[in-house]
Structure 1
Amino acid sequence: MKNYLAIVLLFIASSCFGQIGGMKSVTLNPFPGYYRNYVNVLTLGYNESAEAIYLSADSATKKASEMLIYPAKPKTFFFYLEGAHQIELRADIAHDSLKNYRYTVIADDTIVLAKELHPTAIKGNRMFSANLGTYEVANRKLVLTVYKVGDRDNGRETIIYNKKLGPVHIISAELVKEIEAKEKPLVEKKIENNQTTTTTTVVTAQSESVNMNIQGHLVSMDAKRSYAEIVIGPTENIFLYQILIKRQEGDNLETTLLDNQNWISDTYGNLTTRLDIKHFLKPGKYEIVIFPRIGKIDFNKMENGVKINFEMRKPALSTKEIGLYAGLVFLMLLVVFAVIIVTTKRKNRKKLLAEQQQKEMAKTQLATVRSQLNPHFLFNALAGIQNLMNQHKTDEANRYLAKFARLTRNVLDNKELISLADEKALIDDYLQMEQLRFGFAYQISIDPQLVIVDVEIPAMLLQPFVENAVKHGIAEMEEAGQISIEFTKQNEDLVLTVKDNGQGFDTTKNYEGLGLQLSKNRIALLNTIYKQTPFVLHMDARANETTMTITLTQWL
């Protein structure tokens, strides 16, 4: 190779697998292949006679990071190149020891460039004893693995990442204020037919937020807010990115650079981080920038930085000003002020009473959600059976009457958990009854990895969603209507899906019907009971396809 650039990389000892420090750039100097310009990128062994691996890159190289410990994989190092076309790898290993080593080079996780090869001896070189090859790295990721024969477990791996870091995709950015849960649960006792029923409802922590994605959005300062939460799309090597916070107030500019930001990945690969509210307690125009940081960065010319802009303003009156104003008004209008206080308390009392009544009503509805079948369905189902009897189809009528009786018993059963097999049988009975009325087609698919008799779920968890698909999705389509139900296993998650080809609905709106809302309330209650295995409801509605998915995380 000609006109190489030496990459002076800070080597981190292989025994120090700890927290990653701040990102640094390296110095690039042109050289004609002289041995002093090769740089140590990997060391095998722990003593003075340890063998070293060296690398050089061509003159097209624009940027490079210091050597880093790769956070997602032990015994692995990482460094970033940008713009390089070729690299050359050499080793300082005694000639008579070359037979004891093997190396492998893989490009983009799938392309094997070298597999368990012997290093090739170099004769007459003042420094290097072995050649590990020359490789094309333009817009590529290379993984170099070197180990001693018979000691592969102690081998070392280096990731050479030569792709330009692009901008992240912002999904959401919010200021969040958490509302603490009540210390004691709400308990309701109800007596019917000389039997006492006790219902306990735990009020979970809730949150309210202010969206920060809109340019020029004004946010009232509130010290009670808990944190700023940012969600971005899947991003490779997120540890190479940093967050800069700018605050501009008049001519005063403050900047805060956050190192080692903790990003948490969800099941879809999206990444979430929380920023301490202390960064946003002063008034001014704020700009949060997420950017790839390699070396020194001009904060005014950050390449591929993604910005979130908003403005924090003081309340119209400070606490001190409000107190002084309130005191003056109190002295001047004592009687009027007293009347206002009494009226306000009365209104607040009514409001609290109304909220309490709504909570009690919601608990009652939630307690009976399992037994709620549409009265019109029951009437029409019985009418359908009667019609079969009038047509002298006695066998068919008896078969559907049996299904109707079994369905009714399941509805009245008070079990909290039932097997997937029982849930499938209940849904089968229900859909076959509804087929009498509407004539649609349906199918129930079960993942072969699932043993449905051994997996239990909350009773009638899917039935309200199946009923919603029939009633609001395909009832009017008759034979053209289709419903698909799936029980699938995704790693440790159990995924339950109900899909229909109806006209769909706007998932962002709140509708008057209670069925969907009751189901959401029940899932919220279940999440207070099964905190370690939360239930996640996802709704997707579009033209001619509506999908309702319930994911029981870590359930299997």
Structure 2
Amino acid sequence: MERRRLLMATNIPLESFSIVISILLIICIIASKEHTKLNRLFLWMLAINAFILGCDIFIWIGGGHPQLVGAMKAANFFVFNLGYLLVALFTAYMVTYIRGKGSAVSDKIVPVITAFCAVAVLLVIISMFNNMFFYFSEKGYFMRSPLHWISQAYPIIIILLDMGIILKHSGKLGVKDTFALLSYGILPAGAMAVQIFINGLALVYPAATVSLLIIYVNIQVEQSKRLREKELELTQNRIAMMLSQIQPHFLYNSLTAIAQMCKKSPDKAGEATIAFANYLRGNLDSLTQKGMVHFDRELRHIKTYLSLEKMRFEENIQIIYSIGATDFMLPSLTIQPIIENAVKHGICKKEGGGTICLETMETAENYIIRVSDDGMGFDTAAFFRMNGSMSALKMCVFVLQPSVLER
């Protein structure tokens, strides 16, 4: 009895502190608002780890109370089986992170480990009936059975396999990441080995908590930092893209044309001013657009731009829209630069102007966007090593795959 009180005085504070650490890490992950696969897997690991620790504390507190045996059996069932799930989740986390580092990992690893854990779960279920791993005494105390070591051997084997995979890809991971991932194998496996020989000492999940803390500091924090840097880079790219679209000469020419209209045709000048404002709004909106945009939105921006160009060149520029598909997404301001290029380098350089055609279509596998014009050609001899020049139709084609873009 004295030994049990000593174990309770050691295990309950240790596991309670581990729960606090797990909850704090969960709060940190949620507060980051970064919804990546790695974060989701890590959150599940932390939540399950905290729940297991809570169940184990309940078993320690409930010991010696026969009326709580049923609840303690249920808690013990969760401790064992969720422990196997935790190992499987770590394998998925490890594989996802290694792949993110550009290293190829077999697709069979996670299913094989999951199946291995499923067998372990089945054995625990059987043990609930034949007591081959554990049982509860008449006084309500958890007791190990002679085959208890088998239940501990399963996660040790899986962890050793995971460690082998980590060491295999250590070159891509680097020293810090390798150490962080290996800690989830070394610390819990060492704790399991101790528990096999020292009955009652609860070290596995506190050790797992320490490992999760190491992973958070060395991997999760760095991952968040890289994501923030990537978002900053994307924002800077959006600003550069927006500035490249709002070119000074186009603004000056458009405003000059509107000023001239104010004297000749005030109503037309008012329409042109609204179109000019919509054009600027479309470019500014691209700064806050993080994902894809619907093609209809891109098409409206293109029509606004071309209406301003037609205002400047009047009958010298003709536009043909052959829109056969609209129900797809694409990056903001993808097509408009190509249209502008056709106007600037094709139509404007051809005496008498010309025609621009925008066409979209859907095939069985792709969405196709085709931009073409019949403006000035270019000398193809240097490029194709052929004589003559091309002054007929010029074309730019986008092929968008629905598997990549949202529909």
Range class of TM-score, shorter chain: 0.3 to 0.5
Q: Report the structure, 1 or 2, having the larger strand content.
A: 1
- In terms of fraction of residues, the more helix-rich structure is 2
Q: Which has the higher contact order (CA 8 A, sep 6+)?
A: 2
- TM-score, normalisation: structure 2: 0.38
TM-score by length of 1: 0.28
